[in-house]
Amino acid sequence: MKIAVDAMGGDNAPQVVVEGIEKARDQWTDLEFLLYGDEDKIKKYLKNNDRIKIIHTTEEILGTDEPVKAIRTKKNSSMVLAAKAVKNKEADALFSLGNTGALLASGIFVVGRIKQVDRPALMPTLPVVNSALGVNMLDVGANAEAKPAYLQQWAVMGSIYARDVKKIKNPRIALLNNGTEEDKGDSTHKEAYKLLENTEEINFIGNIESNNILSGDADVIVTDGFTGNAALKAIEGTATTLLTQMKHSLMDNGIFTKMGAAIVAPSLRGLKDMFDTSKSGGAVLLGLKSPVIKAHGAANSETVFYTVKQIYDMLLNDTVNKANKYFEQMSKD
Amino acid sequence: MKIAVDAMGGDNAPQVVVEGIEKARDQWTDLEFLLYGDEDKIKKYLKNNDRIKIIHTTEEILGTDEPVKAIRTKKNSSMVLAAKAVKNKEADALFSLGNTGALLASGIFVVGRIKQVDRPALMPTLPVVNSALGVNMLDVGANAEAKPAYLQQWAVMGSIYARDVKKIKNPRIALLNNGTEEDKGDSTHKEAYKLLENTEEINFIGNIESNNILSGDADVIVTDGFTGNAALKAIEGTATTLLTQMKHSLMDNGIFTKMGAAIVAPSLRGLKDMFDTSKSGGAVLLGLKSPVIKAHGAANSETVFYTVKQIYDMLLNDTVNKANKYFEQMSKD
């Protein structure tokens, strides 16, 4: 099993990438890596090149680049060349910490779609209050428009993923909607509800409202990319705002409060840990011929390690092909 | 100026309603109130009936009632009779702490729409980090489906409201979207962007992403009701989850942490205050012939008081008719 890695993406590249990859290489002896990036910079951090091959690249896609334009004009960038390796079957999966939009575009236009899936979906793992497994939500923004049939396909892929990678026997699949009753929503979501209800492959538990995303009531939440994007960013924004304000409340209210803050700090750090899903790896672009995974630009080497674990689980379980086969079978029936 | 009040809606009705209304009556001498509800229960809390008339009702719409069915079958409920008083011009505005869906239905089917507005929108005030004025967001769920023209109408009404009630000279209007660039979004939001850009009445500042709703970058955020509902509930759910977890972190980690918690408690209460928008009043249903306002079911008498202030400002400024006139003019041009 070979993973093509864009070593230049992310805020701390290539250092955290190289460190995480080496740790993963030492852990799983049947994994090989193709590292795309600046050879000198990579070598600066690389301890040994067992099962790691560096492919020197000079171009780099930046976080500020316009995605589709970037992959068209920077054909020799580390990201695009890594994607091409997957397309040409020189590698089995694509991994990057770089520009999300550009990785989506690389996945769709270079790696390519599963024939039976209309649109790939982006699926991160979000924290929940009662389980370290978190909740997977898709689509959170690969698509601005959605049809009910897309949501059905995403539900099936999310369910297979939760079984294969998160080892959940019978994943609970919920539909993000504006109420819990089955007749809720706009026409897209009403129709999606009916499709999901009649999809035998999945354990559909009904609608979920976005105030319950973090509640742990579902294992996989299906949503159109526009609403999913809004809900995800609202969660991130609120968490950031509250934690920042909490810090101000503790640090800017005099020496006495500061002393109290020092006492409670270790316990409050647990709060931050609750919102840490780094062990779940990165966000998966589902619906492509091979696993394409995006880790956060600010990810550390530990997250890189766990993202490799996540890719390893997907390859070991042939997760992508299972979905493929299911959809082929469905289209025949 | 006369306000029709559903005295039986909300968790602590009619007590908090009566207390808040009396305080408001004492404050603004040109206000009169029609209180719809159980006369005995209301009288138990009413200190004096200056400018307050009780209309005895025996039916009540519960929080669990199906909205449209409730207003059709409970025609003598406090909410429906209060709405009818507004329809019949016996009162100038409708105020309730009760069932949101039923109040929406009462507003739309009993009070009635402004002719030029296609769909009324529900607009709460959300907190922001840098101003007690908060941010208004509409629609957050009166409509599951939206057309670009609706969003334009909501932007105009939100802008007039922000000027009249929040005294903001040139309110900044933003469109909730999945990116900040002007070409972002699904077809509805792309088209809405163009309409907003060309609406001279408003100060359109472009797209805003939902991680910035609480940032204070906009005064009014326009969104379709499905996405707005998801974003609002995601914010509420995340805030509740984080504050609950914070409490656990402080209280369930031994006596030493608890002591520290006691020290920082006053400062952390400030955090809760930041998320307190009770002085902004309730959520307004805009697009109707008269102001219709919903305060939170758990609201206290102070919130009731401030919601009356909010209604008073709308009546004083003739906010509803300003929007009406603008749309009439627009339709002639």
pLDDT in tens, B138-167: 999 999 999 999 999 999 999 999 999 999
List the single best residue of B99, B224, B233 to mutate versus A (max A Cβ within 10 A).
B233
Per-residue tokens: B98: 């009760």
Q: Helix (H, G, I), strand (E, B), or coil: what is residue A152?
A: helix
Q: Note whether A102 and A65 are within 8 A (CB).
A: yes
Query: What integer pLDDT is reported at residue B177 of this predicted model?
Result: 98
Residue range A31-37: mean pLDDT, rounded: 98
> For residue A247, what are the contacts with CB-CB under 8 A and spacing of at least 6?
none
Select from B184, B249, B267 the Cβ nearest to the Cβ of A268: B249
Are residues B15 and B35 part of one domain? yes
List the single best residue of A235, A236, A248, A256 to mutate versus B (max B Cβ within 10 A).
A235
Distance from the Cα of residue B254 to its chain's centroid: 41
Cα angle B258, B260, B262 (rounded to 5 degrees) comes to 70
Residue range A217-231: mean pLDDT, rounded: 98
Q: How many domains does chain A have?
A: 2
Query: Is pLDDT at A333 greater than 80 in this prediction?
Result: no
Distance of alpha carbon A41 from alpha carbon A56, whole angstroms: 10
Per-residue tokens: A166: 């998160």
User: How close does chain A come to B175, measured CA to CA in Å?
Assistant: 12
Residues in chain A: 333
Query: Is pLDDT at A274 greater than 80 in this prediction?
Result: no
pLDDT in tens, A181-190: 999 999 999 9
| Interchain proximity B257–A240, CB inside 8 Å | no
Distance of alpha carbon A291 from alpha carbon A284, whole angstroms: 7
C-alpha distances in Å from residue B93, one per residue of B143, B308, B323:
22, 10, 16
Amino acid at B78: S
Residue range A136-152: mean pLDDT, rounded: 96
User: How close does chain A come to B26, measured CA to CA in Å?
Assistant: 36
User: How close does chain B come to A128, measured CA to CA in Å?
Assistant: 9
Query: Is pLDDT at A109 greater than 90 in this prediction?
Result: yes
Amino acid at A79: M
User: How close does chain B come to A40, measured CA to CA in Å?
Assistant: 36
Distance of alpha carbon A192 from alpha carbon A99, whole angstroms: 31
| Interchain proximity A234–B238, CB inside 8 Å | yes
Q: Given phi > 0 = left and psi -120 to 50 = alpha, else beta, which region is A187? A: alpha
pLDDT in tens, A303-315: 999 999 999 999 9
| Interchain proximity A214–B236, CB inside 8 Å | no
Per-residue tokens: A76: 């020799």
Q: Does A41 touch chain B (CB under 8 A)?
A: no
Residue B234's nearest CA partner among B261, B202, B209 is B209
Distance of alpha carbon A175 from alpha carbon A168, whole angstroms: 18
Q: Helix (H, G, I), strand (E, B), or coil: what is residue B292?
A: strand
| Interchain proximity A234–B250, CB inside 8 Å | no
| Interchain proximity B234–A210, CB inside 8 Å | yes
Cβ-Cβ pairs closer than 8 A, A with B, add up to: 173
Are residues B127 and B270 part of one domain? yes
Residue A287's nearest CA partner among A99, A161, A190 is A161
Domain end marker among A280, A296, A323? A280
Give the domain extent around A331: 1-117+287-333
Instruction: Measure CA of the first residue to CA of the last residue in chain B; give whole Å.
Output: 33
Are residues A146 and A10 part of one domain? no
Query: What integer pLDDT is reported at residue B270 of this predicted model?
Result: 77
Burial label, B219 (beta-carbon count in 10 A; 0-12, 13-18, 19+): buried
Burial label, A56 (beta-carbon count in 10 A; 0-12, 13-18, 19+): middle
List the single best residue of A264, A269, A271, A276 to mutate versus B (max B Cβ within 10 A).
A264
Residue range A190-209: mean pLDDT, rounded: 97
Are residues B152 and B275 part of one domain? yes
Are residues A33 and A153 part of one domain? no
Select from B229, B234, B249 the Cβ nearest to the Cβ of A270: B249
Question: Chain B, 182-241: which have a CB under 8 Å from a chain A CB?
Answer: 184-187, 189, 209-215, 223, 225-227, 229-241
Domain end marker among A280, A295, A318? A280
**pLDDT range class, residue A150, cuts 50, 70, 90:** very high
Q: Given phi > 0 = left and psi -120 to 50 = alpha, else beta, which region is A167? A: left
Looking at per-residue pLDDT, the higher value among B246 and A213 belongs to A213
Are residues A276 and A131 part of one domain? yes
Query: What integer pLDDT is reported at residue B230 of this predicted model?
Result: 98
Per-residue tokens: B226: 């499905």
| Interchain proximity B271–A263, CB inside 8 Å | no
Per-residue tokens: B294: 């919903």
Query: What integer pLDDT is reported at residue B249 of this predicted model?
Result: 84
Select from B144, B235, B266 the Cβ nearest to the Cβ of A186: B144
Question: Chain B, 46-65: which have a CB under 8 Å from a chain A CB?
Answer: none
Amino acid at B247: K
Helix (H) or strand (E) holding B173, with range, is strand B172-176
Rg of the Cα atoms in chain A: 20
Query: Is pLDDT at A247 greater than 90 in this prediction?
Result: no
Query: Is pLDDT at A145 greater than 80 in this prediction?
Result: yes
Query: What integer pLDDT is reported at residue A295 of this predicted model?
Result: 95
Q: Which residue of A has its CA nearest to B126?
A: A238
Question: Chain B, 65-124: which have a CB under 8 Å from a chain A CB?
Answer: none
Are residues A153 and A104 part of one domain? no
CATH, residue B229: 3.40.718.10
Select from A211, A229, A249 the Cβ nearest to the Cβ of B233: A211
Domain end marker among A242, A259, A280? A280
Select from A209, A245, A266 the Cβ nearest to the Cβ of B129: A245
Q: Helix (H, G, I), strand (E, B), or coil: what is residue B178?
A: coil
Query: What integer pLDDT is reported at residue B124 of this predicted model?
Result: 96
Are residues A147 and A258 part of one domain? yes
Are residues A128 and A275 part of one domain? yes
Query: What integer pLDDT is reported at residue A21 of this predicted model?
Result: 97
Distance of alpha carbon A4 from alpha carbon A1, whole angstroms: 10
User: How close does chain A come to B263, measured CA to CA in Å?
Assistant: 5
Q: Which residues of A touch B225 (CB under 8 A)?
A: 178
Select from A235, A242, A271 the Cβ nearest to the Cβ of B249: A271
Interface predicted TM-score (ipTM): 0.94
pLDDT in tens, A51-105: 999 999 999 999 899 999 999 999 999 999 999 999 999 999 999 999 999 999 9
Distance of alpha carbon B241 from alpha carbon A128, whole angstroms: 9
Are residues B182 and B97 part of one domain? no
Query: What integer pLDDT is reported at residue A267 of this predicted model?
Result: 81
Beta-bridged to residue A222, according to DSSP, are A138, A175
pLDDT in tens, B273-304: 777 777 889 999 999 999 999 999 999 999 99
Are residues B180 and B222 part of one domain? yes
With residues binned 3-state (H G I as helix, E B as strand, rest as coil), the percentages for chain A, rounded to 5, are: 50, 20, 35
Are residues B293 and B260 part of one domain? no
Instruction: Name the phi and psi angles at A69, rounded to 5.
Output: -60, -40
Low-confidence ranges of chain B (pLDDT < 70): none
